[in-house]
Amino acid sequence: MIEELTTHTWIERKTFCPAAGGADPGTKDHALESIEEHHVLLWMLSELEGLDPSDERFDAKMSVLMANVRHHVEEEEKEWFPEVRKAIGRNRLTELGEQMEAAKKKAPPIPSPCPAPSSRRPGGLVSSHVQKSRSRSRDGARAD
C-alpha cells in the first residue's frame, strides 16, 4: 500500500498536477490544493512506513490516511478531472497519460520526507507549467 500510494502521489505531483494546473486558470487552484494534499499524504506515508502495525497509533494513522485519500479521490473525480478534461483536450490527455506511465519507473518506492511544495521551487510548481502551456498554445501544439 505504501509503495503504490507513494508512486501514485509522486507521478501526480511531478506530471499531472503541473500540466493540469497550467492548462486553464480555472484549474490552477485545484492543482495547488492537490499538491498540498499529496504533501500531507507523503508525510503520513513516511510515518507509517517506519511504524510497526502493533503500535497503538498505527490504526489511528491508517484511519486518517484513508479519510484523506477518499476525500482527495472524490474531489478529483467529481470536481477537478471534469474541468481538466475540458481544458486540456483528448490529445494532450493521452500524451499526459503516457508521460505518467513512463514516470512510474522513476518514482521512489517509499516516501521520503519532503519540504512543503512552495519551498521547493521559486515561482511554484504550477506557475512554471503555466508558462510552458502558454508557449505550447502559441506554437499551436494543443490539439483536441
Q: What is the pLDDT along the chain (144 residues), one digit of tens a residue?
A: 899 999 999 899 888 888 888 887 878 888 888 889 999 999 999 999 889 999 999 999 999 999 999 999 998 899 888 888 888 888 999 999 999 999 998 888 888 655 445 544 434 545 444 444 444 444 444 443
**CB neighbour list of residue 133: distance below 8 Å, 6 or more residues apart:** 19, 22, 23
Residue with cell 519551498: 119
Domain boundaries of the chain, sorted by first residue: 2-14+26-116
Is 0.85 surpassed by the pTM of this model?
no
What's at 87, amino acid-wise? A
C-alpha cell at 132: 510552458
For residue 140, what pLDDT is reported? 46
